[in-house]
Structure 1
Amino acid sequence: MPTQKSTLPLSEAPKPTYNHTPENIEDLCQNLAEQLFTNDTTICFSKSKTRHSFAQPHESPAAVFRPRTTEEVSAIAKACHERNIAITSYGGGTSLGGALAATRGGICIDFQEMNKIIQVHEDDLDIVVQPNVGWVELNQYLDEKNLFFPPDPAPGAKIGGMIAMGCSGTNAYRYGTMKDWVLSLTLVLADGTIVKTRNRPRKSSAGYDLTNLIIGSEGTLALVTEAVLKLTALPKNLHVGLAVFETMAEGVSVAIAIMKSGTVLEAIELMDAAGTHSVNTSKLVPALTLLEKPTLFLKFSNPSPQTVTEQIALVRSICDQHHSLSFEASGEKERIDTLWAARKCLGNSFMSMKKDETDVFIHTDACVPLSNLARLVAESEALIAGTGWFCCNMAHAGDGNTHTAIVAPLADKAAVEELLSKIQRLALELEGTITGEHGVGLKLRDLLVEEVGKEGVDVMRGIKGALDPKGLLNPDKIIRLESDV
């Protein structure tokens, strides 16, 4: 009998066997005829590729199902498991790094019909939602209750995708990432089994932490059909600030000085001159024209108006010490919305820098200890200088997470990826990570081996094999199932 191991090396992993013949897919659809589905090729491909996430034409599902309940998701998964059909899932379509690509074909579960707020427990500060509730819409609902859900990735992101990617956003410095705001999940496993990870208490030591195992697993271990989310009080006396500098290094120095002062802001974001140029060019914020220089975007909040005034005064002083070209802070709602919209539209503004519709958008998502942030930013700037492509550096400066984004011709895609790999390897040299909030997807799988080691990846493959032995759920993401795929 072969020795049982604690890990599953790629060389010993069973080869997945899919049956995606037209006959098998048609049989599946007939078996699930009572459910909402389509096999329109245009719709199918739209669930695999977006403006921010690349996929080849053949990386498309053969059918898209739109379940309405956990039980319907379970029925789809069970039928696919019986027929060896791969499953990808789709929510808001904002994820990056090829996470949506149906590399093996199969079918897609589109959660658009599962968009209901099920129950809010105001006294417990938690809420139960289906996976396709958007965080923007959720906060609009909570606003009148004086409650707030902090994670804030791209504006179109949905809760299920945010859980799958382990996302964060501009509020992570103050409030933490998605894993800090999920109490419990209802899951459908690859074979259709329904699992609830825990109840609603704020803490639990009851067995393995299944909730956090699923967060950040990119749809490879289970399908999220319901979530219990933590809430907090709506920030009070909110102000937004803008500080402009001649160099990114000055902006980084200010961010670190703010944190070392002991003053905790709501957010500290840094955008380079190219980023401000893209915002201006896009005209996504028509009421604002940014000075095209490195810019810090700051949020202030506290129950005490006096404390907010003191925070602003301290930050203004720090900015002055680091030679800021200008400083503004406002508590007027219209101005707050305008200034912060310039930061939140940055990802979409990159699309305005395309010279051709076929141009590609590729990015990094490196994160390093704060003391190494200045070096990561400086060396990233040096690497992208003079390439001729549109290049932008921005940082969630409060937690050391940076994004280098490039828009380039499709013919240059391989060269762009090679350059960005150098930045991600630099992050590893600086004791950081290749992805702080966007996930591994397809392109970072080999770099993941460099970060956690072959043994670490083999442990992940073992977990994948235990929960999804046929490799049906979002195959090829995070870890390789076969050496040549």
Structure 2
Amino acid sequence: MTVAAAISELQSLLGERLNVSKSDRDIHGRSEVYYQPMPPDAVAYPETTQEVSEIVKICARHDCPVIPWGTGTSLEGHALALKGGVTVDFQRMNKVLEVNAEDMDCRVQPGITRIALNEDLRATGLFFPVDPGANASIGGMASTRASGTTTVMYGTMADNVMGLEVVLADGRIIRTGSRARKTSAGYDLTHLFVGSEGTLGLITELTLKLRGQPEAISAGICAFNSIEDAVQCVMSTIQMGIPMARIEFVDAATTMAFNAYSGRDMPEKPHLLVEFNGSDASVKEQSERFGEIVKDHDGSDFEWATRPEDRNALWKLRHDGYYAILASRKGCTAMSTDICVPISRLAEAVTETQDDIADSPLPGPILGHVGDGNFHAILMMDPDNPEELKEAKRLADRMVDRALDMGGTVTGEHGVGMGKMKYMTREHGDAWSVMSDIKRSFDPQNILNPGKMVQIN
């Protein structure tokens, strides 16, 4: 590897848009969670797909790692420069290229964030529905196959990406998919790249499905006496086929963190946060049916929010959950777990996880997108205490074993990155080695985001 030679060529290509300053490298070497900083040797800021192609070609000639970067909000070390190299920051490729309102789709560059995209779409009456909470880039969301609070109704990124433009490890530029709503033409390369975490290619353009803004939206929050009651309420709602746009769970510890962080005065009990989208009549009917289920599970009366500002405040509360939890233990860092299980095993998984945490010295508030069986324990620890890190890993291992025993997965939305590679053999068996074969086929030099997703010797 001759990173210095690659950097020299990249400086000729990009000029000031190739940054080697310590401050910029440090920014791109940080993670949202407990991983130690791993800065790259340089940061490139391309403005076109052709520039991305040239960057990759140069790095390939010099066997230099290439790490894609969106906004840096991933939670499994996806964008850390594990082996050094050049981070490609897509913040300058942040445009909406085309909106086809009649067909309800659009083309965008990877650096645009989900909030910026929806602001741009506002006048069209359309919106992009995937909402992971963080204001992540669309390219990063596709790379990790992100989902979030709205998945129960609108699906994950895999359900909402129709096509891609991708730069491969040798610099070739390919297009996958189309604007057609279905195809039987060849291998489904689009869905191979969605969720590949930058290990197979760098996404430089995305074609996305859009949805119509609903006529009516109603959101609400209610408390329960126990986790079991709240989660059983979720299961009953899903099994009865009530169309929820969002249904989120937070435990009592998370509620306490909300109160401290956002100045709320919520009862210190488990809560559900819900939202219904549709016509006025359908939203009214769905709300009433859900209210009956809540009463059957001893839930409190709902605090409803129909005005946009009230709904936004409610979901900001949920989206700030991770930071509220971190703030509840000064100076801590966290391991954010995200197992996903079949709905019928959800209550069992949550209560057993809570029991494990109750028996541990570490605090670990639980929250999640329980409408699709996905929940998180935020395991808080002192970054300078190796025993606490060891205990967090033990708890996470227990959660993973439980999820797999129940027919679930080790990660519902955060992805594999560095943190979950050790679990891949148990979940996938020999299929994980097939993933490694695919990686070698696309990237024989192993320069694209090395050390993530698959094991390449």
User: Would you call these one fold, judging by a TM-score over 0.5?
Assistant: yes
In structure 2, do the counterparts of structure 1 residues 396 and 26 end up closer, same or farther at CA, with 3 Å as the change threshold? closer
**Which residue of the partner structure matches residue 202 of structure 2?**
223
TM-score, normalization by structure 2: 0.96
**Which residue of the partner structure matches residue 86 of structure 1?**
65
Q: Distance in 1 between matches of 2:191 and 2:400?
A: 25
Q: Could you tell me the percent identity over the aligned residues?
A: 36
**Which residue of the partner structure matches residue 366 of structure 1?**
339
Structure 2 contact 357–363 (Cα < 8 Å) conserved: no
Structure 1 contact 68–113 (Cα < 8 Å) conserved: yes
Shift of 1:30: 3.8
The one-letter amino acid of 2:412's match is G
Note the aligned Cα RMSD (angstroms). 1.4
**Which residue of the partner structure matches residue 291 of structure 1?**
267
Structure 1 contact 28–80 (Cα < 8 Å) conserved: no
**Which residue of the partner structure matches residue 453 of structure 2?**
478
**Which residue of the partner structure matches residue 331 of structure 1?**
306
**Which residue of the partner structure matches residue 93 of structure 2?**
114
**Which residue of the partner structure matches residue 53 of structure 1?**
33
Structure 2 contact 7–42 (Cα < 8 Å) conserved: no
Q: State the Cα deviation string for residues 121-158 of structure 1 (Å, max 9, x = none).
A: 00110011000111111112222211011100133201
Report the 3-state secondary structure (helix = DSSP H, G, I; strand = E; otherwise coil) of the residue aligned with 1:93: coil
Is 2:17 the counterpart of 1:36?
Answer: yes
**Which residue of the partner structure matches residue 102 of structure 2?**
123
Structure 1 contact 245–326 (Cα < 8 Å) conserved: no
Structure 2 contact 200–443 (Cα < 8 Å) conserved: yes
Is 2:2 the counterpart of 1:19?
Answer: yes
Report the 3-state secondary structure (helix = DSSP H, G, I; strand = E; otherwise coil) of the residue aligned with 1:329: strand
**Which residue of the partner structure matches residue 283 of structure 2?**
308
Report the 3-state secondary structure (helix = DSSP H, G, I; strand = E; otherwise coil) of the residue aligned with 1:197: strand
Report the 3-state secondary structure (helix = DSSP H, G, I; strand = E; otherwise coil) of the residue aligned with 2:221: strand
In structure 2, do the counterparts of structure 1 residues 221 and 26 end up closer, same or farther at CA, with 3 Å as the change threshold? closer
Q: Distance in 1 between matches of 2:7 and 2:321?
A: 42
**Which residue of the partner structure matches residue 408 of structure 2?**
432
Shift of 1:33: 4.3
**Which residue of the partner structure matches residue 104 of structure 1?**
83
Q: Distance in 2 between matches of 1:142 and 1:26?
A: 38
Q: Distance in 2 between matches of 1:31 and 1:404?
A: 47
Q: Distance in 2 between matches of 1:33 and 1:437?
A: 34
**Which residue of the partner structure matches residue 162 of structure 1?**
141
Listed as ranges, the matches of 1:198-217 within 5 Å are: 198-217=177-196
Q: Distance in 1 between matches of 2:359 and 2:9?
A: 52
Q: Distance in 2 between matches of 1:222 and 1:151?
A: 22
Q: State the Cα deviation string for residues 35-88 of structure 1 (Å, max 9, x = none).
A: 6111012211211213x234434x220100000000000000000000100011
Q: Distance in 2 between matches of 1:48 and 1:193?
A: 27
Structure 1 contact 147–231 (Cα < 8 Å) conserved: yes
Shift of 1:420: 0.9
Is 2:143 the counterpart of 1:197?
Answer: no
The one-letter amino acid of 1:402's match is F
Listed as ranges, the matches of 1:350-429 within 5 Å are: 350-356=325-331, 359-410=332-383, 411=385, 412-429=388-405
In structure 2, do the counterparts of structure 1 residues 330 and 89 end up closer, same or farther at CA, with 3 Å as the change threshold? same
Q: State the Cα deviation string for residues 344-396 of structure 1 (Å, max 9, x = none).
A: 2112222312322xx32102110011001011101100111143333111121
Q: Distance in 2 between matches of 1:225 and 1:35?
A: 21
The one-letter amino acid of 2:139's match is G
Structure 1 portions without partners, runs of 5+: 1-17
The one-letter amino acid of 1:334's match is E
Q: State the Cα deviation string for residues 180-230 of structure 1 (Å, max 9, x = none).
A: 111110000111110011321111111111100000001100000000101
Report the 3-state secondary structure (helix = DSSP H, G, I; strand = E; otherwise coil) of the residue aligned with 2:433: helix
Is 2:128 the counterpart of 1:149?
Answer: yes
Listed as ranges, the matches of 1:429-468 within 5 Å are: 429-453=405-429, 455-468=430-443
The one-letter amino acid of 2:20's match is N
**Which residue of the partner structure matches residue 320 of structure 1?**
295
TM-score, normalization by structure 1: 0.91
**Which residue of the partner structure matches residue 14 of structure 1?**
none
Shift of 1:278: 1.6
Structure 2 contact 322–378 (Cα < 8 Å) conserved: no
The one-letter amino acid of 1:433's match is T
Shift of 1:25: 4.3
Report the 3-state secondary structure (helix = DSSP H, G, I; strand = E; otherwise coil) of the residue aligned with 1:341: helix
Shift of 1:26: 4.0
The one-letter amino acid of 2:158's match is K
The one-letter amino acid of 1:184's match is G
**Which residue of the partner structure matches residue 263 of structure 1?**
242
Q: Distance in 2 between matches of 1:321 and 1:478?
A: 43
Listed as ranges, the matches of 1:177-188 within 5 Å are: 177-188=156-167
Structure 1 contact 87–474 (Cα < 8 Å) conserved: yes
Q: Distance in 2 between matches of 1:130 and 1:26?
A: 25
Structure 1 contact 78–191 (Cα < 8 Å) conserved: yes
Match among 75, 79, 100 for residue 54 of structure 2: 75
Structure 2 portions without partners, runs of 5+: none
Structure 1 contact 146–234 (Cα < 8 Å) conserved: yes
Shift of 1:266: 0.8
Which 4+ residue blocks in structure 1 deviate beyond 6 angstroms?
A: none
The total of aligned residue pairs comes to 454
